[in-house]
Amino acid sequence: MKSTGVVRKIDELGRIVLPSELRRVFGIHEGDELEISVDGEHIILNKRHDVCLFCSSDEGLVQFKDRKVCGNCAADLGGVIPREVRLDETVGAAG
Q: How far apart are CA 44 and CA 41, in angstroms?
A: 10
Residue 38 backbone phi and psi in degrees, to 5: -125, 135
Q: How far apart are CA 43 and CA 20, in angstroms?
A: 19
**70 is an interface residue for Zn ion by CB under 5 A:** yes
Q: Which of 6, 22, 34, 55 binds Zn ion (CB under 5 A)?
A: 55
Residue 87 backbone phi and psi in degrees, to 5: -60, -45
**54 is an interface residue for Zn ion by CB under 5 A:** yes
**74 is an interface residue for Zn ion by CB under 5 A:** no
Residue range at the interface with Zn ion (CB under 5 A); choices 13-21, 43-51, 73-81, 87-95: 73-81
Q: Which spans of this chain sit near Zn ion (rule: CB under 5 A)?
A: 52, 54-55, 57, 70, 73
